[in-house]
Chains A and B, each alone.
Chain A
Amino acid sequence: MSISKEEVEHVARLARLALTEEEKVLYAEQLGRILGHAARVTSLDTEGVPPTAQAIELANVFRPDEPGKPAPSLTQEEALANAPAVEAGHFRVPRILEAED
């Protein structure tokens, strides 16, 4: 199981990770080995086996449409307290290049 540098670059773009050339080489090799090991899974016979996304069997868990439940809102000050950059009550970010969706 080997993974190309191009695949690594594509995945890094999806994950918004700026990788160094060294990291690209390293991850291509390591992901290849880890996924190779996972062949034991991919070779399992799962014909007709339903997938498990959750190990519990709950359904219909809701909250009432009531403000403050289950937790109250924050003040603007609290909301912005951890922000790296703030302007006029907003979170400030660099320019957005292309509208992705």
Chain B
Amino acid sequence: MSDAAPELLTTIGLEIHCELATATKMFCGCAVGFGGEPNTRVCQVCLGHPGTLPVPNERAVAYAIKIALALGCRIAPSSIFHRKNYFYPDMPKNYQISQYDIPLGLAGSLDVTTGAGTRAIGITRVHLEEDTGKSLHMGSGGRIHDADYSLEDFNRAGTPLVEIVTEPDMTSPDEGRTFAQELRSILEYLEVSDVRLEEGSMRFDANISVAPPGERGAKVEVKNLNSLRSLHRALAYEEVRQREVLAGGGTIDQSTRHWDEKSGVTRPLRTKEHAFDYRYFPEPDLVPIKPSPEWLEGITAGIPELPPARRRRFIADYGLTPYDAALLVATRAAGTFFEDAVAGAGNVEPKLVANWLANDLLGRLAERSEDLATTKVTPQNLGALVGLVAAGSISGNQGKVVLDEMIATGRPAAEIVDERGLRQVSGRSELEAVVGEVLAANADVVERIRAGDTKPQGFLVGQIMRATKGQANPAVVQELLRDLLQR
């Protein structure tokens, strides 16, 4: 922070909960989904009816292991579930099946690059648990503290959740946000989550402390951060708040605070001192997970090239700027679209393809609230379009017109160019006659130019373009004019 006292250091650790994109819930056969009629994706198991038992979803376990491996974690040879006991009306059994002392994955790390350089952020653990239902707070404001009563919907209850806990290795709100972004794109690459933050499929809790070098600051936990933006805002707010408290001679004590998105501040959470005795004990309804070497090999084989490696390759092999590389690698789809487009473009500067994709196509799709998954434009067709522009067959402006048509119809560039007769005329011989005629028709202007007044030259170019219905290659026209006027 700019206004922050320089002798104080900020320490940040994150705890990320991510819903897995399985077909069914963690421990029962109910469908996983978002929205819909309340209490319609529930059964006796996820409603916690007496006598029901959990049976783990094999794909959810595989996804969690895939994440742990992608983050460089050690996979526990024998991992078990625990019961985390506390009462809350959106938690059907009043205990959460989670993991405690033997999580699926331990001790990984993830490189994060900010203006301050690249640093490895430690991953403490990756574990599997079940999500809760949703409480709707009824009454003035619909906020929890001024609600008259609440309504419970258990459609989300039992959705597989992976919890990822980092070491307190981050030193700034920017680094915190960048880590979250990087993790999000890795999860997207692994195809284990739809990472829709707006639907709560990724949720953040943060620990942040500020203290002089060498000293341990009191850990302040900030909860309820449901977007990268609120994560960054909350961290920035907390950093300033704590620095100001310390600057004012005050002290920070270990506490939990709640981020209020509307007012943009963190507020202390009222919690009874007894409230957090979770009485963890091994879940007797479940047996250990002991991944076989074959299983682990299979999961590892399913891990694609991840964003860090792909960015490096795009910069090295395609000569992209770090900025463009980051932009195109952010989602698996964009990166793949780019590589296919480059292939479709023949021997063209990949940089040029990157520009057309990043600036022109993505921009236009965003305006139409489309994306690479939904657009009619294929990577090959985009490549071909860039090829035409690069070969000078059409001008850049013509290319943009063609692109609009491609987005609307999905037809190949060449087809549109021919149909509209957009081909650019670049041959001197073909153009010489037209230029001659225009010069003859404007003898007076020619005189003035030859007398040294070059202003009207633009007028002549315009006349030539009109005579060629805009198909004349401007560069060639300029050349011809220069030659002919010098005579």
Closest residue of chain A to B271 (Cβ to Cβ) is A98
Q: How far is the CA of A93 from the CA of B245 in the complex (A)?
A: 39
Within 8 Å of chain B (Cβ to Cβ): is A44?
no
CB-based contact B271/A93 at 8 Å: no
| Listed residue (B135, B281, B292) with the most chain A CB atoms within 10 angstroms of its CB | B135
CB-based contact A96/B288 at 8 Å: no
Q: What are the residues of chain B within 8 A of A99 when measuring CB–CB?
A: 144, 223, 258, 269
User: Per a CB cutoff under 8 Å, which of A14, A58, A68, A76 touches B274?
Assistant: A14
Give A12 Cβ to nearest chain B Cβ, in Å.
10
CB-based contact A90/B153 at 8 Å: yes
CB-based contact B147/A95 at 8 Å: yes
| Listed residue (A14, A70, A73, A94) with the most chain B CB atoms within 10 angstroms of its CB | A73
CB-based contact A59/B55 at 8 Å: no
User: Per a CB cutoff under 8 Å, which of B139, B152, B277, B286 touches A91?
Assistant: B152
Indicate with 1 or 0, residue by residue over A59-96, a CB within 8 angstroms of chain B CB atoms.
Answer: 11111111111111111100110000001111111111
Query: Taking chain B's interface residues, is the majority helix, strand, or loop, or is none over half, making it mixed?
Result: loop
Within 8 Å of chain B (Cβ to Cβ): is A40?
no
Given A13-B274, A100-B87: A63 and B58 interface contact (C-beta under 8 Å): yes
| Listed residue (A60, A75, A88) with the most chain B CB atoms within 10 angstroms of its CB | A60
CB-based contact B45/A67 at 8 Å: no
CB-based contact B150/A79 at 8 Å: no
| Listed residue (B149, B277, B279) with the most chain A CB atoms within 10 angstroms of its CB | B149
CB-based contact B38/A95 at 8 Å: no
CB-based contact B148/A60 at 8 Å: no
Q: How far is the CA of A95 from the CA of B287 in the complex (A)?
A: 37
CB-based contact A62/B29 at 8 Å: no
Within 8 Å of chain A (Cβ to Cβ): is B481?
no
Q: How far is the CA of A87 from the CA of B153 in the complex (A)?
A: 11
Q: What are the residues of chain A within 8 A of B223 when measuring CB–CB?
A: 99
Indicate with 1 or 0, residue by residue over A2-21, a CB within 8 angstroms of chain B CB atoms.
Answer: 00000000100110100000
Q: What are the residues of chain A within 8 A of B418 when measuring CB–CB?
A: none
CB-based contact B279/A67 at 8 Å: no
CB-based contact B47/A95 at 8 Å: no
Within 8 Å of chain A (Cβ to Cβ): is B43?
yes
Q: What are the residues of chain B within 8 A of A41 when measuring CB–CB?
A: none
Indicate with 1 or 0, residue by residue over B147-182, a CB within 8 angstroms of chain A CB atoms.
Answer: 111111110000000000000000000000000000
CB-based contact A100/B40 at 8 Å: no
Within 8 Å of chain B (Cβ to Cβ): is A56?
yes
Q: How far is the CA of A10 from the CA of B273 in the complex (A)?
A: 10
Give A40 Cβ to nearest chain B Cβ, in Å.
22
Closest residue of chain B to A68 (Cβ to Cβ) is B29
Q: How far is the CA of A67 from the CA of B41 in the complex (A)?
A: 10
Closest residue of chain B to A75 (Cβ to Cβ) is B40
CB-based contact B271/A100 at 8 Å: yes
Closest residue of chain A to B282 (Cβ to Cβ) is A53
Q: What are the residues of chain B within 8 A of A94 when measuring CB–CB?
A: 149-150
Q: What are the residues of chain A within 8 A of B408 when measuring CB–CB?
A: none
Q: How far is the CA of A93 from the CA of B92 in the complex (A)?
A: 13
CB-based contact B57/A87 at 8 Å: no
Q: How far is the CA of A45 from the CA of B288 in the complex (A)?
A: 27
Closest residue of chain B to A9 (Cβ to Cβ) is B274
Within 8 Å of chain B (Cβ to Cβ): is A101?
yes
Within 8 Å of chain B (Cβ to Cβ): is A43?
no
Q: How far is the CA of A66 from the CA of B57 in the complex (A)?
A: 9
CB-based contact A60/B287 at 8 Å: yes
CB-based contact B31/A59 at 8 Å: no
Within 8 Å of chain B (Cβ to Cβ): is A54?
yes
CB-based contact B269/A76 at 8 Å: no
Q: Report 21 cross-chain contacts, Cβ distance below 8 Å, ordered by A residue.
A: A14-B85, A14-B277, A53-B281, A58-B287, A60-B291, A64-B59, A66-B29, A69-B24, A89-B37, A89-B40, A89-B153, A90-B38, A90-B136, A90-B152, A91-B39, A93-B149, A93-B151, A96-B89, A96-B144, A96-B150, A99-B258
Interface residues of A (CB under 8 A from B): 10, 13-14, 16, 53-54, 56, 58-76, 79-80, 87-96, 98-101
Instruction: State the 6 A-B residue pairs at the shortest beta-carbon distance, nearest first.
Output: A90-B151, A62-B58, A65-B59, A53-B282, A91-B152, A58-B287
Given contact pairs A59-B78, A63-B58, enumerate 7 new A-B contacts (beta carbons under 8 Å): A60-B292, A63-B57, A72-B29, A73-B30, A91-B89, A96-B150, A100-B271
